[in-house]
Structure 1
Amino acid sequence: MSLLRRTKAAWRAFTASYDATSTGRRSRSWGGVNGGPNAPAASLPTLRNRSRDAVRNDPLADAAIDVAVTNVIGTGIKPQFATSDAGLNKDLAALWLDWTDEADPAGQLDFYGLQALAVRSMIEGGDAFGRFRLRRPEDGLDVPLQIQVLEGEFCPAEKSEMNGANSIISGVEFTPFGSRTAYWFYREHPYDGTNPRMQAGLPVRVPASEVFHLMQVRRPGQVRGEPWLTRALVKLNELAQYDDAELKRKQIAAMFVGFRRRPVPEGMTPEDLAEAWGGGAEIEDGIGHVSLEPGTMQDLEPGEDVEFTAPVDVGGNYEVFLRAQRRLVASAAGVLYEQLTGDYSQVNDRTFRASVNEFRRRCQAWQHHLAVFQMCRPTHRQWMAAAVLSGAVRPPRSMTERDLLRVKWVPQGWSYIHPVQDVQSQQMAVRNGFKSRAEVVSEQGYDAEQIDAEQAADNARADAVGLSYDSDGRRAVSDPTKTTETEGV
């Protein structure tokens, strides 16, 4: 057997075990394209435009983004400073809290509002950028730093070229070693025609140290993100058209219209009829328009007749079909169907708990991999550098930079699904040493040291006036595994 025949036989033997590699009748029209992680960058503007159009006009698309932003950011992912100096941690927390109200150059949002804005822009447009803006001392900021959130359009995805030894891929400049060294931005939004300062100039180079880039990385080597609704855009568009068509069918079916045909008197010409009866229907380009309104009686001209279609009613399948399609949309957007639609009629307590726990794990991954690592940590480094250089923070001389930058980012806590059971399980976990009390407090989005200080103040105030409460941790607490008759009510 020749080498060519042996090669073909080996290839057939290899592909025979994979149905997805067959080229038969079922797979003949299945055309897969082998593209790199940045090959779709050319279609990014179209994807972004369609995603923004869906969010503007489709309530499902807008609700999907709101659900994701609410659960990933909520009221904010907040820092808990963890340097080796407890007094410095307290001062840093107070300074950070004062600065959050000054973080937005426009003065519309605090830092946590900027978090939500950046994440929403990333989900809707594929990626979002933050430009760190250092300010002068005379600007009067607690820390001379502000953050300008930029949409993905500011960085031209079509800009791919060489800049000396560096390569520019989709508006991001890389060193020969593959590290990001700069971003290229337009000075103004390139599609904001209402801005009187709009300049149709070329993008300018901004060092990567002055920028954070928020995007979901789906493939190694991917440079730009894609809108999270990408896999749902076609279905959203077609589903909206179907729903509109069904609504129009219902409107037509609900029209009860009567037609009155009048005899033509002998000897009257069409001109006489038009003058006597007020003319016929409005004519436009040779087409007569007769408006249908409930409860009307429509006169017809002599010889005219009307034939109506009888649209078939979808019956009880309409709701089932919409529910199935909306589940696919929710799955493509990464949220729960119940969250997307507000329809909880198909779930019970167990299935809802299982689905919510799975969704929360997904949100925790988004929080850590995206919001914290790509936005919060770069912001904290820039904030600390600006605070130290401006004299707002004076760390001990012996403290290293690594120690100064130690921080724990804590998202907003999840609401209890079963408050009594959830709190009791946390209490048992702490008592049995499975987790610390500080970790339980952090999971709820609070600081254990702050809670301890508040409890101490509450106890001191109660002792001063001779009051005693069950909330006093110095009192003996009953076994949490034992319930009273009223706890299950």
Structure 2
Amino acid sequence: MAGFLKIVDQHGRRIPMRAASYQGHFEGATFGRRFGNWGLSSAGPDASMFNSLGTLRARSRELVRNEPLITGGLDTLVAYIVGSGINPRWELEDAEIKRSLQQLWADWTMEADHDGVADFYGLQSLATRCMVESGEVLIRFIPQKPGTMPVPLKIQVLEPDHLDEAYNTQAPNGNEIRMGIEFSPEGRRVAYHMYREHPGESYLSSTPGEKIRVPASEVLHIYRPLRPGQKRGRPWLSSVIAIIRELNQYLDAEQVRKKAAAMFGGFITAPAGEVDNIPSVFGQDSTDTTDDMGAQIMALEPGTFPALPPGMDVKFSEPADVGNSYAPFVKHQERRIARGFGGLTYEKLSGDLSDSNYTSLRSGDKTFQRQCLQIINHVVVYQMCAPVLRYWLNTAVLSRAINLPGFRENRQKYYRVKWCHEGFPMTDPLKDGQAEDNAIKAGRKSRSESVAERGRDVEAVDSEIASDQDRADGLGLKFDTDVRNASK
């Protein structure tokens, strides 16, 4: 038959159409009424964001500005990832050089911000916040005049809008520019083509739309890579923007409905033609009790007992409740949002602890903390903290802010630091503290590891303890907290 398609196997035998449509396929790869053309895009990591990145950023920022649930969730994520700061602890045998480096670093962090609004740890929070909200963040190194600060270096945090994702061309030197980033023939980043001023504030700028080429060695591009080869970062809210929008519209509609229903106290009925002026029955002037459409309205004072004429009746408004499914539905949607928003738990996103207990809170906290540790170590430390420290050390040595023996021959020795996070709050400090003590006593954990998890340096802690003990001994004081008096 003309136009008839016959499908055969390797032996030339005809395969029935129904069998052919399923043979060799996963159910999730089939077509039909259940799937249709759903999920067929094979776009690469950059192509999938090329036309969407600007819109995703704008909508993500809109939710952060106007949706309290998202604002609070973003604050929680930043608090857990950065806390009060992720600080370096040098692993050097020379105690004097180590102390000098720690002090020089501490002095510099107070003056690190090019805009002068935060210290270095505040910039960590700002950069992380921008990364979550906008998907990525840029940091630019700005060398200073020697002698003007402890180490002549400032850093500037920039929003990703400075990097035009629609800028795709070939540079005069033959390098490819993709989404604002210039790559060498080997695929290495060599420069960033950035707007001199934020494109969203071009009306305030004297050079709107002007781009500058900044070497990649002077820029940090921080984002969470989710696909191999991904050049730009997408907002963390990307997968739940539609859900949040729909939920907000539902909540707004429900709130307006309840508000409108609450405005009607009741309704007065009377036989047609028997009462022309209902407000007068209640002792009110009819000229003051009509709305813009001429309908009679009135307000009663507490304790009013009017005598109604025969046939007149008052029916109070009894608006329908939202029903038993309202709260479960909203909670379910908020749980979906929490899972798609950086792995937050429902409790941390909503602040609702009404259905929580110690076991569920601890289980959720542990999972969330492990996800935060991934971001801390693989993104914030690797992409921001470590490169800043290396650039800072190079600048410190070149400017003679510090003398590090053998630095040029063995830089890795001085680059080798341990980045300490202040640690996560304990769900139950008593139980968690006892478990920590038992792990140290059993040899499963060292004091150094335990102290580092709280964001401290064990040498500094030991020095403080020794100082406290010496001072107490000199004054003839004894405390139960003195570890020398602890029972064995």
Q: TM-score range by the shorter chain?
A: 0.7 to 0.9
Give the corresponding residue for 1:38. 46
Give the corresponding residue for 2:386. 377
Under a length normalisation based on structure 2, what TM-score does the superposition of the two structures give? 0.85
Matching of residues 228-267 of structure 1 within 5 Å: 228-254=236-262, 255-258=264-267
Matching of residues 48-197 of structure 1 within 5 Å: 48-137=57-146, 140-163=148-171, 164-193=173-202, 196-197=204-205
Give the corresponding residue for 2:450. 440
Q: What SS does the aligned partner of 1:137 have?
A: coil
Find the partner of 1:461 among 466, 471, 476. Answer: 471
Contact 1:249 1:311 in 2 (8 A): no
Q: How has the CA–CA distance of structure 1 residues 3 and 315 changed in structure 2, closer, same or farther, with 3 Å as cutoff? A: closer
- Per-residue deviation at 1:338? 0.2
- Per-residue deviation at 1:32? 2.1
Find the partner of 2:441 among 431, 440, 443. Answer: 431
Q: How has the CA–CA distance of structure 1 residues 463 and 228 changed in structure 2, closer, same or farther, with 3 Å as cutoff? A: same
Q: What do the CA deviations read for 1:36-90 (whole angstroms, capped 9, x no partner)?
A: 0101222100111111111111111212211111100010111101134221111
Find the partner of 2:480 among 467, 470, 473. Answer: 470
Q: What SS does the aligned partner of 1:223 have?
A: coil
Instruction: Supply the AA of the counterpart residue of 2:136.
Output: D
Q: How has the CA–CA distance of structure 1 residues 83 and 3 changed in structure 2, closer, same or farther, with 3 Å as cutoff? A: farther
Quote the RMSD (CA, aligned, Å).
3.0
Contact 1:64 1:335 in 2 (8 A): yes
Contact 1:257 1:295 in 2 (8 A): no
Q: Does residue 1:24 correspond to 2:27, yes or no?
A: no
Q: Does residue 1:6 correspond to 2:9, yes or no?
A: yes
Q: Percent identity?
A: 39
Once the two structures are overlaid, the 10-residue window that deviates more, 69-78 or 27-36, is 27-36
Contact 1:119 1:371 in 2 (8 A): yes
Q: What SS does the aligned partner of 1:192 have?
A: helix
- Per-residue deviation at 1:4? 6.8
Matching of residues 202-351 of structure 1 within 5 Å: 202-254=210-262, 255-258=264-267, 282=292, 288=293, 312-333=320-341, 334-351=343-360
Structure 1 residues not aligned, in runs of 5+: 267-275, 283-287, 297-308, 479-489
Instruction: Supply the AA of the counterpart residue of 2:415.
Output: L
Give the corresponding residue for 1:394. 403
Q: How has the CA–CA distance of structure 1 residues 197 and 3 changed in structure 2, closer, same or farther, with 3 Å as cutoff? A: same
- Per-residue deviation at 1:156? 0.4
Instruction: Supply the AA of the counterpart residue of 1:87.
Output: E
Aligned length: 451
Give the corresponding residue for 2:304. none
Matching of residues 363-374 of structure 1 within 5 Å: 363-374=372-383
Instruction: Measure, in 2, the Cα distance between the counterparts of 1:355 and 1:292.
Output: 54
Once the two structures are overlaid, the 10-residue window that deviates more, 8-17 or 429-438, is 8-17
Contact 1:185 1:206 in 2 (8 A): yes
Q: What SS does the aligned partner of 2:197 have?
A: coil
Give the corresponding residue for 1:302. none
Instruction: Measure, in 1, the Cα distance between the counterparts of 2:299 and 2:191.
Output: 64
- Per-residue deviation at 1:141? 0.8
Instruction: Measure, in 2, the Cα distance between the counterparts of 1:265 and 1:60.
Output: 52
Instruction: Measure, in 2, the Cα distance between the counterparts of 1:264 and 1:294.
Output: 22
Contact 2:289 2:296 in 1 (8 A): no
Once the two structures are overlaid, the 10-residue window that deviates more, 8-17 or 46-55, is 8-17
- Per-residue deviation at 1:351? 1.5
Instruction: Measure, in 1, the Cα distance between the counterparts of 2:447 and 2:289.
Output: 85
Contact 1:161 1:168 in 2 (8 A): yes
Structure 2 residues not aligned, in runs of 5+: 277-285, 302-316
Instruction: Measure, in 2, the Cα distance between the counterparts of 1:369 and 1:336.
Output: 21
Q: How has the CA–CA distance of structure 1 residues 279 and 291 changed in structure 2, closer, same or farther, with 3 Å as cutoff? A: closer
Instruction: Measure, in 2, the Cα distance between the counterparts of 1:130 and 1:113.
Output: 13
Under a length normalisation based on structure 1, what TM-score does the superposition of the two structures give? 0.85
Instruction: Supply the AA of the counterpart residue of 1:358.
Output: T
Instruction: Supply the AA of the counterpart residue of 1:213.
Output: H
Q: What SS does the aligned partner of 1:343 have?
A: coil
Contact 2:22 2:30 in 1 (8 A): no
- Per-residue deviation at 1:15? 5.0
Instruction: Measure, in 1, the Cα distance between the counterparts of 2:225 and 2:296.
Output: 54
Q: What SS does the aligned partner of 1:252 have?
A: helix
Q: What SS does the aligned partner of 1:445 have?
A: coil
- Per-residue deviation at 1:258? 4.4
Q: How has the CA–CA distance of structure 1 residues 449 and 256 changed in structure 2, closer, same or farther, with 3 Å as cutoff? A: same
Q: How has the CA–CA distance of structure 1 residues 472 and 222 changed in structure 2, closer, same or farther, with 3 Å as cutoff? A: same
Q: How has the CA–CA distance of structure 1 residues 214 and 295 changed in structure 2, closer, same or farther, with 3 Å as cutoff? A: farther
Instruction: Supply the AA of the counterpart residue of 2:392.
Output: W
Q: How has the CA–CA distance of structure 1 residues 440 and 277 changed in structure 2, closer, same or farther, with 3 Å as cutoff? A: closer
Contact 1:257 1:294 in 2 (8 A): no
